Amino acid sequence: MIRIFIVDDHQVVIDGISSILSEVEEIKIIGSALNGLEALRKLETESPDVLLLDINMPEMDGIQLVRALKEKGRTLNTLVLTMHNNPQFTKELIAEGVQGCVLKNAGKKDLILAITEVNNGGSFYSEAVTDSLKESLDKTQEAIDEVQLTKREVEIVKLIALENTTNEIAEKLSISAYTVDTHRKNIINKLGVKNLAGLVRFAFEKNLL
Amino acid sequence: MIRIFIVDDHQVVIDGISSILSEVEEIKIIGSALNGLEALRKLETESPDVLLLDINMPEMDGIQLVRALKEKGRTLNTLVLTMHNNPQFTKELIAEGVQGCVLKNAGKKDLILAITEVNNGGSFYSEAVTDSLKESLDKTQEAIDEVQLTKREVEIVKLIALENTTNEIAEKLSISAYTVDTHRKNIINKLGVKNLAGLVRFAFEKNLL
DNA sequence: AATAAAATACCGAGAATTAGGTATTTTCAT
DNA sequence: ATGAAAATACCTAATTCTCGGTATTTTATT
């Protein structure tokens, strides 16, 4: 018997998955949460075999939840449900030690397969996910590194996207406007975008916000 | 017996809803599609009582599909499934004559209620949806109209978000840079944002791109 | 301890955006 | 056909961003 806990901010998705999985004898859903905080609280008492996790959630997203659990010394077999197939994201998931990742547009067969696989201590990544990861890795490491922003750079990207000017950012971070300027310049170069608009666009496409 | 056709770009959602609804005797799912185009094609031969439609789809979104069906003279009882609760969107749905709207984080009770209601020629909007619509309508009409961008303005928002400068936009649209400047100014005022970054952000939040 | 990467800071010139207007022509719906 | 909304165009000044650099200090890793 595999005991599952679902975290997804959409009740329909929770109900739907519950419904799909209720057809499977070996799987039982022991609980669910509509957001990261609720999940954290409930998981203090519940102990599922597999955590089924939506990655796109408001407030506390999936990756943050995994990190929070890790900090608490709580390691669970985790299977991530994701909407979009973003290699950058996949890499983060693997880095965080998440065992599996299934696209939401996968079928129920894949879902059930992934759950049993993850429960057995294995890992499962949808073919589409690994494909796009491979493709991404096929590009020279150099090219990938180019798109890797540093912590500070990510911080600045966010502040820019939130309508702060260079001077405002400088004040908020207690650094010189010149420095912010340099960061912005480096970011634009790294991303290969043309201007601030492209930078903001990037912030949204990689859902940094 | 209510015959339903589901359109959603996530297979898991389709499976999930199918599974939920399979528990209900009077409801039967006769088909599904993963995107607008597929739906258009299949609906030429299928004739469901209720069309269950995801609103956030790539390529052809829900509203576009409703419009396309309308143009073909194909009017169906339509129930929209939406992710986010955006009053602007709700108004568009009502304007297009969509009979109902259920949030994805609604429970299955609401879903089933909505389907039967819509099938009976009635309409069903989740409480949360009507609430936010009411709240939105409570603001003065003036304030609401302020956030309504004109066709030209939307065009310019897109071009800005795609990294075009004022001069480039002027050239592409064969108008004066001064005019583009004026449009940008008006847009920033209407949206209540501070600068170009806020404008690009808006473009993504309202998924204009 | 040495090295690389990241973060910091500075300068100047040119390009683009922002804010403050005003004003005419088109388009569209009543 | 008339009025309102939309689209067009212009002007100036101030601010902000962009691009070309260079260079020092911190932080992290081997």
Cβ–Cβ contact A112 with B under 8 A: no
The alpha-carbon gap from A135 to the nearest alpha carbon of chain B, in Å, equals 22
Q: Which nucleotides of D are covered by protein (CB under 7 A)?
A: 5-11, 15-23
User: Which ranges in chain A are annotated with CATH 1.10.10.10?
Assistant: 143-205
Report how many Cβ contacts below 8 Å link chain A to chain B: 116
The answer to whether the CB atoms of B20 and A16 lie below 8 A apart is yes
Distance CA B122, CA A64 (A): 43
B22: number of Cβ within 10 Å: 13
Which residues on A lie below 8 Å from B17 (Cβ)? 12, 16
The answer to whether the CB atoms of A201 and B34 lie below 8 A apart is no
Q: Which residue from A161, A171, A53, A164 is spatially nearest to A104, judged by alpha carbons?
A: A53
pLDDT at A142: 34
pLDDT-derived band at B91, boundaries 50, 70, 90: low
**What topology does CATH give the domain A143-205?**
Arc Repressor Mutant, subunit A (1.10.10)
Q: For B23-107, where are the alpha helices, taking DSSP H only?
A: 36-42, 62-71, 87-95
Residue A126 has pLDDT above 90, yes or no: no
Is the model more confident about B184 or about A115? B184
Distance CA B73, CA A102 (A): 39
pLDDT at A139: 37
Query: Going by CATH, does the domain composed of B2-138 fall within 3.40.50.2300?
Result: yes
Average pLDDT of the residues in A167-188: 90
Cβ–Cβ contact A206 with B under 8 A: no
User: Which ranges in chain B are annotated with CATH 3.40.50.2300?
Assistant: 2-138
- Closest residue to A204, CB basis, from B17, B107, B204: B204
Is the model more confident about A153 or about A133? A153
Is the model more confident about A207 or about A148? A148
Distance CA A181, CA B46 (A): 58
pLDDT at B145: 33
pLDDT single digits (tens) B47-79: 888 888 887 665 556 777 777 776 666 778 888
Whether any strand C atom is under 7 angstroms from the Cβ of A168: the reply reads no
Q: What is the mean pLDDT of chain B?
A: 76
B202: number of Cβ within 10 Å: 20
Whether any strand C atom is under 7 angstroms from the Cβ of A183: the reply reads yes
Distance CA B75, CA B58 (A): 22
Q: What percent of chain A has pLDDT over 90?
A: 11
Cβ–Cβ contact B194 with A under 8 A: yes
For residue A178, give the nucleotide whose C1' atom is nearest its CA. C9
